Structure 1
Amino acid sequence: MKGQKGFVLLGKRPFFGLFQRIARWRALHEERQMLASLSDDALKDIGLNRGDVEQDRRLHFWQDPLQK
């Protein structure tokens, strides 16, 4: 029964979306920390400045700039 199969699969992984969001938040947090630790010269090489990094660092975890 095809309808039941999908329902059973949903029941086996009820927190999958939550785990994905937590993993995405952790990766974003680590990236923000890494950017904050770079020198001004290194930031200039990648086209950023200290103000851009501080502005991004002040965003809350639910404010995903890519809105994934």
Structure 2
Amino acid sequence: MVDRDFEIVTVTDLRFERILNRAGWPMTRIGEAEQIGRTVAVAGIRGHIQRERRSCMRLRATLRLFGGACEC
């Protein structure tokens, strides 16, 4: 895996935002939270992060607890 800087821009629900925070991948919100169907969604950016194996493994482990998957 090659380490390099990149940005992630995402729209996600509040629950997944909390998962990202717990995994050490906090994001900066863009605008206010919005109701979309039965969930509340937020847009955010995680800027200038380095793709590190340790961070990716931590995110994968956290997502597994909630039945999710991640490809890093």
**Structure label with greater radius of gyration:** 1
Structure (1/2) with the larger strand percentage: 2
TM-score, length basis structure 1: 0.26
What TM-score, normalized by structure 2, do the two folds share? 0.25
Higher RCO (C-alpha under 8 Å, 6+ residues apart): 2
Higher helix share: 1
